[in-house]
Structure 1
Amino acid sequence: MENTSVRLDPPAAPPRSRRTGRRIVAAVLATLLTLTLGAGAVGWYYSGELLVPYSGEPQFRDTVLASTSATVTLADTENSRQPGTFTLVWPGGAARVGEITRRSGEQVERQLTGGVPVPVGTKVRFDNDVFNGDPKQALGLDFSTVSVASELGPMPAWLVRPEPAKDTGLWVVQVHGRGASRDETLRVVPALRKLGLASLSVTYRNDKGAPISPDGLYHLGDSEWRDAEEAVRFALRNGARRVVLFGYSMGGAIIGQLLARSPLAGQVAAVVLDAPVLSWRKTLDWQAGERGLPQFLTPIAEVVSRWRSGIDFDRLELIERPPATKPPTLLIHGAADGTVPVQASRDLAEQARRLGWPLEYQEVPGADHVAAWNLNPAAYEQRISGFLSRTLALPPA
């Protein structure tokens, strides 16, 4: 019988060069996928550092090596070398420290200006705020705790009024920075009170004691400005003729958005900004460099942050998009700021000159982030008082 089966020969092998090319393409795609996933993971982590409110325990990084009733000696670190006045905080205690009296080897000795000798070996942290607690506890000033209504619920605030005979009818709405608290605003309350200004130290969403945002994230000013707007409305409803806005760090970004987007911006008589975030992109680039991260991760972190929270980063670029309402403004920034780039403030000062924005810029050599007051409290307060007195036509303090 004839064999009708058909033998099928195996297909010819592709040329070696084609197989090699496919392997290279596959390797490149695998590498790109790995890099993309890795960059995405870093972007997610970086966006979390930016957006997620910190809820952990404070960290104590500096160590006390010796202490007397007049001095405290610490290990030589970036914190302990900072010039100026700060508070040392440790679990269960606090003490105020002043100028450096001696620095040798790996040790820094500083004045101990308030508190008790600190036990040797204690782990401490440096606190810029200096004053802790409410205005009565920290400064001996009478105050009221008031509730500012907002779209998310009541926001607590401290209200310190001037002496009745000096009351000018002007209120200062103070907005603290990201991760800080109302304590940050206490340093200038006495100077404002001497000028006859009421001081309203406010909270905003995700602060302790304030409502949490719907997604539980910071929006870097893109939504928090509405809480500050309600504080302005509260002031106007309770006797303020006009208001002054005073913002620290991210509080400056919040104020920038209020000026750009609130119908109450016209009620703002003056603005003071201390180390403000004027460009989140420049700030992210700066912080990436400080952490040793490549700057190409910044756009990835921005994309991830935008996806997680809906933040419009373009709108938060105050240098490129200055607000239509431009009240007289005092801008203060420390030249040694390691958190928010001082160059952004220089850029805004230059932009303001071109736009005719009445903005005064003071750069403070040697001052770290929001630490210009700490470096020289008297000079800082004199600058604030002089600017507000001229701008608001106030009687001498």
Structure 2
Amino acid sequence: MADDAAVRGKTAAGALGAGLGAGLAGGAVAIGRYYATVLLDPTRVVAYPERVLGVGDGTVTLATSRLVRQPGVWGLRWTAPPADSAGVPVVGSAGVPMVGSASVPMVGSASEGLAVVGDILRDDRHGVRRRLLSGPVPPVGPAVVDAGPYDPDPGARGLEFTEVTVDTPLGPAPAWEIPAERDVWAIAVHGRGGRRREALRILPTLHALGLPTLVISYRNDDEAPPSPDGAFHLGDTEWEDLEAAVGYARGRGARRIVLVGWSMGAAISGAFLDRSPAADLVDAVVWDAPLLDWRATLRRQARNRLLPPALVPIAEVSARRRIGIDFDHFDLVRHPPARRPPTLVIHSVPDTAVPIGTARTLAARSRDLDWPVRLLEVDGVEHTGSWNADPERYDRAVTAFLTDTL
């Protein structure tokens, strides 16, 4: 009887252990799938994590944070009070635009204010005081430090442009066309969840080089067609929209192409360089904080979210089942694209979104890969903030590279 009881106890303990193990495994799978869902979701989330504490004498004081302490030139955005058609503030409106939308008043909903801040003048227990370079005086309250200090279009940089339409495989997608005299065109591709205004920082440099520039949108952007399944495909299908943009440029007289991309814009243009017959037209590439290896990026993002590394393969499998992506094709060091034109990579060292290690590996192995790569490392700023840290240095690097290459 005692032996039978011991056996029953061991069986119950084993069953409990197996149940707990299955529960933990099931929980890990659920979290991994959720991680993949977040990765593929094109919904933009409004966030104003910083706070304006005070203004005065051409300065603004912000609550201390890591992002507020970044050096250089930045946009400072906030929600402006909504107003009716007579300009009277509307109370209780829930309409808040996504971060990064154009600073255009919207009747009956909130609009967004934008100022440009510069040097840090003081950093102490009272907050971070920065120089207010241009724009309206921000109100005390929530704000966000933004790498995009210009809005809403190339006119903000003093450039003539035309709003045009690129006929993509999914339908018409808006683009900005900035004319110039050469027959070598630049095509700018923003990152995941970004907007065309990401390119406004570099447009004067491209224009000074005589490059007509096409700043494109692609599937799942605000005004572009949605993908059939409503999900990001991480470059695996978005490259077709870039191919359509190259076709548009060719129809407008482009003889050769320069690709300029930020973050996932590099994954998109990398897929284009590997898969499109039109890739032979590309003479040079400029990548800012490029996403060169989705797996490395997912591992870093998991650490940022305090998730166990073991969840990353689960997220990969879930993403592959949902959108059919092969992550091997998005490791550009192990699987470089078929077309490998001279490439300038600019990457900030403390980037916590897309780690710089893959860019360093690509530059170190560029000779073996038969892929001419220059790497410019920038200190002190976050993801895609290299221009903001030192605009003159950034523009000089792009100018020197394209002058040498073209």
CA distance in 2, matches of 1:251, 1:118: 32
Tell me what 2:106 maps to. Answer: none
Whether the 8 Å CA contact 1:177–1:248 is kept in 2: the answer is yes
Counterpart of 2:314, as a letter, is: I
- Residue 114 (structure 1) aligned with residue 134 (structure 2): yes
For residues 204 and 321 of structure 2, the distance between their equivalents in structure 1, rounded to whole angstroms, comes to 43
CA deviation digits over 1:236-275, x for unaligned, max 9?
Answer: 1210010000010000000111111111111101001100
Report matched runs for 1:140-219 at 5 Å: 140-162=158-180, 167-219=181-233
> How far apart are the structure 2 equivalents of 1:207 and 1:85?
26
SS across alignment from 1:158: strand
The DSSP-based 3-state class of the residue aligned with 2:367 is helix
- Residue 44 of structure 1 deviates from its aligned partner by 2.1
Determine which of 345, 359, 374 is the counterpart of 1:360. Answer: 374
After superposition, the C-alpha distances for 1:293-326 in whole angstroms (9 at most, x for unaligned) are 1111111111111122222111111111001211
Letter in 2 for 1:153: G
User: Out of 320, 328, 335, which is 2:334 matched to?
Assistant: 320
2:43 to 45, 51, 54: 54
Gaps of 5+ in 2: 81-112
Deviations for 1:205-231, whole angstroms, at most 9, x for unmatched residues?
A: 000100000110001101101111111
1:346 paired residue among 354, 360, 376: 360
Which deviates further from its counterpart, 227-236 or 303-312? 303-312
- Corresponding residue for 1:395? none
Report the AA paired with residue 169 of structure 2.
Answer: E
Equivalent-residue separation in structure 1 for 2:10 and 2:274 (angstroms): 55
Contact kept? 2:115, 2:149, Cα under 8 Å: no
Match of 1:59, SS state, is coil
- 1:40 pairs with 2:58: no
Q: How far 1:31 moved relative to its partner?
A: 1.2
Q: Pick from 91, 94, 100: which aligns with 2:79? A: 91
In structure 2, distance between residues paired with 1:342 and 1:62: 26
> 1:69·1:116 contact (CA, 8 Å) conserved in 2?
no
CA contact (8 A) 1:69 1:117 kept: no
Q: CA deviation at 1:176?
A: 0.2
Identity of aligned residues (%): 45
Equivalences for 1:120-131 in 2 at 5 Å? 120=140, 122-131=141-150
Q: How much has 1:351 moved relative to structure 2?
A: 2.2
Could you tell which deviates more after superposition, 148-157 or 309-318? 309-318
Kindly provide the amino acid, as one letter, of the partner of residue 52 in structure 1. D
2:89 paired with 1:75: no
Pairing partner for 2:19 from 10, 18, 30: 30
1:134 aligns with 2:122: no
Q: Which runs of 5+ in 1 are unaligned?
A: 1-11, 393-397
What's the counterpart of residue 89 of structure 2? none
Query: Is structure 2 residue 82 aligned with structure 1 residue 64?
Result: no
Inter-partner Cα distance in structure 1 for 2:322 and 2:288: 29
Whichever residue aligns with residue 116 of structure 1, its letter is P
1:9-35 CA deviation, whole Å, 9 max, x = no partner?
Answer: xxx998334323322331122112211
Superposed CA offset, 1:107-155 (max 9, x none): 10000000233223x210111011111112x122211111111110011
Query: What secondary structure sits across from 2:212 in the alignment?
Result: strand
AA at the equivalent of 1:109: R
**In the alignment, structure 1 residue 103 sits paired with structure 2 residue 131:** no
Find the residue that maps to 1:355 and give its secondary structure.
coil
Q: What TM-score results when the alignment is normalised by the length of structure 1?
A: 0.91
Matches within 5 A, 1:181-330: 181-330=195-344
**Hey, what does 2:10 align to over in structure 1?**
21
Paired with 1:253 and 1:376, the residues of 2 have a C-alpha distance of 25
Residue 331 (str. 1) matches residue 350 (str. 2): no
Note if contact 1:72-1:110 (Cα within 8 Å) is conserved in structure 2: yes
What letter corresponds to residue 81 of structure 1 in structure 2?
Answer: R
- Inter-partner Cα distance in structure 2 for 1:350 and 1:248: 21
The whole-number CA distance in structure 2 between the counterparts of 1:259 and 1:24 is 57
2:264 partner letter = M
CA distance in 2, matches of 1:14, 1:176: 69
Aligned-residue Cα RMSD (Å) equals: 1.4
Aligned residues: 374
Contact kept, 8 Å, 1:171 with 1:244, in 2: the verdict is: yes
